[in-house]
Amino acid sequence: ADSSLGVRWDQFTVLINDLTESVSNFVIGSGLGNVIKIQTPIRDYSTYIYYELQSVYFLNQLGVILFTLFLLINLLLTIKIIKYSELCVLYFLYVSYAITNPYILDSNHVAVIIVLVTLSNVLKKMKAK
């Protein structure tokens, strides 16, 4: 099977170059649904809004400030709602995998959160007995 590393590197380069194109792009992003009008030897991005590297695309759209805020809110809510350190570790392991694949911002992520919150509630009830 062919490796997708070349495509991912191309996407990473295109997204980071667009992010660092100006100070405003870097700080506040290019906006949700941003289309990068560029063609590389691997892909024509002018009509392409799907990226395997969803987290880098999200960074490109939101900019460093809002992306950092998103990460902090995610971290704080995870610690607050999923009270068990083992489950938090599982979640962060999932996130570390998902940021390099198109899973972090889709229904898979929602399913992972539902399962972990449910497990957290089950553990809480078991410890209360």
Contact (CB, 8 A) for 19 and 26: yes
Token output for 38: 């560029």
Interval 23-52 mean pLDDT: 88
β-strand partners of 44:
39
Axis crossing angle, helix 54-81 with helix 85-98, rounded to the nearest 10 = 170
Give the model confidence (pLDDT) of 70-124 as tens digits.
889 988 888 888 888 889 899 888 888 887 777 777 788 888 888 999 999 999 8
Count of other CB atoms within 10 angstroms of residue 87 = 18
User: Mind listing the pLDDT tens digit for each residue in 53-81?
Assistant: 888 898 999 999 999 998 899 888 888 88
Give the residue among 92, 124, 102 at the shortest CA–CA distance from 7: 102
Taking alpha carbons only, the member of 119, 108, 112 closest to residue 82 is 119
Lookup result for tokens 């998103």: 70
pTM to 2 decimals?
Answer: 0.77
The burial of 108, by beta-carbon neighbours within 10 Å (0-12 exposed, 13-18 middle, 19 or more buried), is given as middle
Q: What is the pLDDT of residue 68?
A: 93
Name the pLDDT band for 7 (thresholds 50, 70, 90).
Answer: confident
